[in-house]
Structure 1
Amino acid sequence: MTDHPATDDIIGIGFGPANLSLAIALRDAMVGSPLRPSFRFLERQERFGWHRAMMLPGADMQISFVKDLVSLRDPTSPFSFINYLHVKGRLNTFLNLKTFNPSRVEYNDYLAWAAEHFADVVAYGETVHAVRPETREGRLAAFVVEGRDRAGGRRLRRCRHLVVAAGGDPAIPPPFSALVNDKRLIHSSWYLPGIAGALGQPQLEGPQPRILVVGGGQSAVEIATDLGERYPRALIDLAIRGPALKPADDSPFVNEIFDPAAVDRIHDAPAPVRAELIAAHRATNYAVVDADLIQAFYATLYEQEVSGVTRYRLRRSTRVLALEAGAEGLSALLRDDVAGIEDRQTYEAVICATGYERAAVPAILDPLRSFLAGETVDRHYRLPLDSAEPRVSLHLQGFSEPTHGLTETLLSILPVRAGAIAQTILAEERAARATIRTAAAQP
């Protein structure tokens, strides 16, 4: 345990793509500037990794490589995906692919390559439990970040500017949540290690394991497809709430919702109009699947009809009403809402591709609530603080979809958002330090 908290001017909680992009923006903003505040990032993973449990063979990114960590803010940056390809010696061969969408595996490698440049300011294996206020004469003067390091020891850190980009929590709705500690129940966020733990190595002989995948989005269909290839004898049910798998709308006019300028339009709109805009574009991101993947999955189902061998079943308009654990597997009570029929099926594994949930204010900030003037960030992603010193700010990344739009939880405008946060923090630092110099110069 540290008796005296280590102090940095800026601390970022989480070191995924959002705060990695912020690290680059902070470093860029300090080039040639006498202002050089210290910054540090805390990451609970033992090493950098982005959705490692969903690094599936053949899975591609759903956005252009141009929407990398920096290019929308500074296309000349050495941290661009193009420069990554150049450094790795793959620029020409990538161009020969004639695609804007790299594989998910390659993009993760790009992110890890960029993260390596900041190894000296990242504390990996450090889990944050709470952020507490440090006060001076009743005013919020600093944040004290409480956590555990990789050795399990208590760790305290202190800062004046805090940026939380800890990501969402896996959404595991009832009735699945009651069995969250059963290794046979798996969320997509831990799919690869989870399915290996539940089923072990593929068997070429013996019983055919039956697996249920729940969800109607991209991850659900990717997982269902991967299961069939990973476990050649598996029987896979894909249960979706709707009557059909729906394609993601990535047409040009609709796709403008992911432009940086769209954030201003949404943020500045009246609250009811803002909600309508976000709802109108949900088909770009939620419970939708790439058209190519839908086509491939449909072709697989058709080939089954031709061969007469059924391994995949698409269970449309179907809900899981109950889930019970037994020695033989997880017993699911399923209801087809269209036919009005219920049936019970036992599965060796159940996979929830049910997305993520995010509170407006992360729970680790609960000790600060008496200093919050509200739970809605401003245009620059700052939470309003009450009774705080001028040199103190609290920013959130990834928690403000209702006010900033669908880009908030995605990769689309990371560098623009990171640049705005970096410039806001540095402007506050300049103003505070100028005030301190003026006060010191007075007789």
Structure 2
Amino acid sequence: MSTTLPNTDRILDAVAIGAGPFNLGFAALADTVPGLDVLVFESAEEFAWHPGMMLEGTHLQVPFMADLVTMADPSHPLSFLNHLKDTGRLYPFYIRENFYPLREEYNNYLRWAAARLPSVHFGAHVAAARFEDGVYELDVHTRDGVHTVRTRRLVLGTGTTPYVPASVPECVLGTGQAVHTSGYRPARAAIAAGSRIAVVGSGQSAAEVFADLLGTLGPDTHLEWVTRSARFFPLEYTKLTLEMTSPEYIDHFHSLPQGTRDALSSSQKGLYKGINADLIDEIHEMLYRRQVSGHAPVTLRAATALQGVEHRDGALQLNLRNQDDGGEFSTVADTLVLATGYAYREPDFVKDLGERINRLPDGRLDVDRNYAVSDDADVLVQNAELHTHGFTAPDLGMGAYRNSVIINRILGYEHYAVEKRIGFQSFGSPSPDSPASVSPALEGAHA
């Protein structure tokens, strides 16, 4: 990791923009490829992975093998296990007998890896992009000026930004009474100080904030959790469902018409946005203990949509609508946490590239099967393809796979072996020339 740019007179093979886990993985895997010349630019001055939700005891929902490199190269020096060895924590992790790293532990690993990657530069903001004579020219702003960087390819990994629904006006966020989960940790004390607290949203972040507040509330404080989802969905994590995070399911999903892909994405939110089942059980136990102690009741409302928020006598009035019976009502809170998720936002400089970027009729990126959005496959994306590749897009466990595909595409040959089929099940209709009666993963057993 570096804070100053090297001599950039040369034409690079690729510039990756954004240094979240996916582009850090790109940098790590590219680092061990002889002759591959890449740089990674990140606007932030230092690495931080979801600092607003770095709550004590929270952990990943994927095993440690979903690190930057292991699923592409288990022997890579920047693996999570090598991080543990380097920091003297391998044996404690082994004795713990838990595949799921703590969120703080994973953040420490990412910072450790970033510090060992000379291609990664923080405090480097890509402000503009041009395509001239087969090369992309980037204006990169750093503390010591504006640099022109030339590259043959771009890898866009700028990630997602906090999503605040239109029902929440900016004036509400400006008071400090309401906060998105991305900023929860620094606002935690102020939020918990309210005598009436509301959490709006579904998924793991909402559950973690709710549990965190529930564990610290006074006996007379009222806490309310409102979610538009039909119920408090657990994350589906059974083995045959996990097989859908696979190259062959991506093949199947990508081959479908866009309307079908959108419908599937809508129906599959519980596969990546659900709540860890153990956390749901823990919340129920906390509610049970609170009831036994005679503390103020806690309200949970599923199938309830937030219609609007307005100031009322120094508090916030939440206008709600039940999705099942259509009834409209309101509740009042002193403080509000919005666990309303994140949305992809294209970097501003992408508009400079105009028609080089392929788009669907509705304006969304038209991402091909191997993650390119340009005819020449010289602009590639990370976690911007939920609508074209399905719920594998944000999955940390598929990051090394996607980076293997991208790096192989840049090189023009297969440097990293890429699995084609890993599951016992088949997706979609069988082709006329393939036996449908034999599971792909069993074919080797019959050889």
- The residue number in structure 1 matching 2:162 is 170
Structure with greater helix share of residues: 1
- The residue aligned with 1:307 is 293
Would the aligned equivalents of 1:321 and 1:334 in 2 still touch at CA under 8 Å? yes
Task: Establish whether residue 12 from structure 1 lines up as the match of residue 16 from structure 2.
Answer: yes
Residues 276/327 of structure 1: CA separation in 2 closer, same or farther (3 Å cut): closer
1:431 paired residue number? none
Q: Which residue of 2 aligns with 1:216?
A: 202
Shift of 1:235: 3.1
The match for 1:379 among 369, 382, 387 is: 369
Decide whether aligned partners of structure 1 residues 319 and 272 sit closer, same or farther in structure 2, where only a CA change above 3 A counts.
closer
* 1-structure distance, mates of 2:329, 2:263: 38
Say whether residues 1:414 and 2:399 are aligned partners.
yes
In the TM superposition, 1:220-235 aligns within 5 A as 220-230=206-216, 232=218, 234-235=221-222
- Contact kept, 8 Å, 2:18 with 2:157, in 1: the verdict is yes
Match of 1:263 in 2: 250
Of 333-342 and 183-192, the range deviating more from structure 2 = 333-342
Equivalent in the alignment of 1:128? 126
Q: Which runs of 5+ in 2 are unaligned?
A: 360-364, 414-447
**Counterpart of 1:108?**
107
- Report the Cα distance in structure 2 between the residues aligned to 1:8 and 1:190, rounded to whole angstroms: 39
Alpha-carbon distance, 1:7 to partner: 5.3
In 1, distance between residues paired with 2:229 and 2:399? 32
Matched, 1:289 2:275: yes
- Residues 7 and 261 of structure 1: CA distance in aligned 2, closer, same or farther (over 3 Å): same
CA contact (8 A) 2:214 2:286 kept: no
Q: TM-score, normalised by structure 1?
A: 0.82
Shift of 1:277: 4.8
Alpha-carbon distance in structure 2 between the residues aligned to 1:293 and 1:18: 27
Report whether the alignment pairs 1:195 with 2:206. no
Question: Which residues in structure 2 correspond to 1:4-153 (within 5 Å)?
Answer: 8-9=11-12, 10-30=14-34, 36-118=35-117, 120-129=118-127, 131-136=128-133, 141-150=134-143, 153=145
Name the CA distance, whole Å, in 2 between partners of 1:311 and 1:155.
58
1:37 and 1:91 map into 2 onto residues whose CA distance is 31
- Picking from 212, 231, 245, the partner of 2:232 is 245
Contact 2:64 2:101 in 1 (8 A): yes
CA distance in 2 between partners of 1:188 and 1:352 (Å): 6
Distance 1:277 1:173 in 2: 23
Separation of aligned partners in 2, 1:181 and 1:401: 31
Q: Which amino acid aligns with 1:103?
A: L
Identity within the alignment, %: 30
Deviation sequence 1:115-143 (CA, Å, 0-9, x none): 1111x3222123333x322324xxxx322
Q: Which amino acid aligns with 1:99?
A: N
Encode CA deviations 1:214-243: one digit per residue, 9 max, x unaligned.
112111010111123355465321111234
In the alignment, structure 1 residue 347 sits paired with structure 2 residue 337: no
Alignment CA distance shift 1:302-1:94 (3 Å): same
RMSD: 2.8
Report deviation, 1:347.
2.6
2:283 aligned with 1:322:
no
